[in-house]
Amino acid sequence: MAQQEYVYRISENIIENVGRVILGKREIVKLTLVALYCRGHVLLEDVPGVGKTMLVKALAKSVGCSFKRIQFTPDLLPTDVTGVSVFNQKTGEFEFRPGPVISNVVLADEINRTSPKTQSALLEAMEEGQVTADGDTYQISEPFFVLATQNPIEYEGTFPLPEAQLDRFMFRLHLGYPDFQEEVNLLSRLQHVHPVDRLEQVASIREILQAREAVKEIHVDASLKNYIVRLVHSLRNHSQVYLGASPRGSLAVFKGAQALAGIEGRDYVVPDDIKLVARWALPHRIILKPEAQLNGYSSEALVVDLLNQVPVPLEA
């Protein structure tokens, strides 16, 4: 089986399986899978009750991964996330008790409700795939995927994520409310038992790791690499932007477009792959000037405007 067919088959099985729980959000599920393939992480910013927790639970069950949930609160300590060394009186030695971050899939729920010190406990795990406690380093087994949530409405008692931590997230996604008919269907589906309880595993960790390697080989034309960099440079030099996207943003668009092409069953990237990924990978990496924010301008609108303005390579 060709590599692109292999990635397409696995991805379709996962997307269809998660779709039994998360109705009408195929694009969001697909982008979450893109992040998983790219060793990226996702910040899910939305109002309560739209299925953020169910999305990550369904994904973990679909691929047979271990799953842990961390409820971030103001009194949470870094060791509550990473783990702590405890003295064993029988052996006379300290033993490391791993925290919930040492898992395949981690839900960091309401991440902005804890202190910056505890938020930063995730940084090493997200970037390096390891945690350090009492001078010792512990590797986290692959795949490792963090999906963090935050409520965009309530700001009282919250600690906004610093730019360095926001940059660690490949995507900032929004689930949004279901439409009328989807919500009617939801009532019927949840009448007796939640669909996530009946969800079965449709892919293995080994298959996910193989898909990760396969998407790295997907072809990206030189003109499309230039297109990605032109987009990011246009953001940095925009008159309304105070701080532009970093090279990590360019890399997120590049790798995300490769993974998206693989999910679609292609062994090459097209401009539409880049446009879709850029819409979700760039806005949270830029800071607008105060006057732009006062005028109601958003980073999402800015990225969409530039996607319409920056010429797409014709030879692509």
DSSP string of 211-270? HHHHHTTSB--HHHHHHHHHHHHHHHT-TTEEE---HHHHHHHHHHHHHHHHHTT-SB--
pLDDT confidence of residue 115 = 86
Tens place of pLDDT per residue across the chain (316 aa): 467 788 999 999 999 999 888 888 899 999 999 999 999 999 998 777 777 888 888 999 999 999 999 999 888 988 899 888 888 888 888 888 888 999 999 999 988 888 888 888 888 888 888 888 777 888 899 999 999 988 776 666 678 887 778 888 999 998 888 888 878 887 877 777 777 888 889 999 999 999 999 999 999 999 999 999 999 999 998 888 888 888 999 999 999 999 999 999 999 999 999 999 999 999 999 988 888 888 888 899 999 999 999 999 876 5
pLDDT confidence of residue 255 = 97
Residue 107, φ and ψ in degrees, nearest 5: -100, 110
Cβ–Cβ contacts within 10 Å for residue 228, how many?
Answer: 22
Fold topology of 218-316: Helicase, Ruva Protein; domain 3 (1.10.8)
Residue with structure tokens 């790219």?
38
Decide: residue 35, CB within 10 A, 0-12 exposed, 13-18 middle, 19+ buried: buried
Write b or e for each residue in 21-33: b if 16 or more Cβ atoms lie within 10 A of its Cβ, otherwise e: bbbbbeebbbbbb
Assign domain 1-217 to a CATH class: alpha beta
Cβ–Cβ contacts within 10 Å for residue 296, how many?
Answer: 7
pLDDT confidence of residue 157 = 62
pLDDT confidence of residue 196 = 80
pLDDT confidence of residue 316 = 52
Q: Residue 242 and residue 221: Cα distance in Å, rounded?
A: 31
Q: How many helices (H) and strands (E) would you count in the chain?
A: 14, 11
Cβ–Cβ contacts within 10 Å for residue 44, how many?
Answer: 26
Element (H, E) at 124: helix 121-128
pLDDT confidence of residue 315 = 62
Q: pTM to 2 decimals?
A: 0.90
Domain boundaries, the chain: 1-217, 218-316
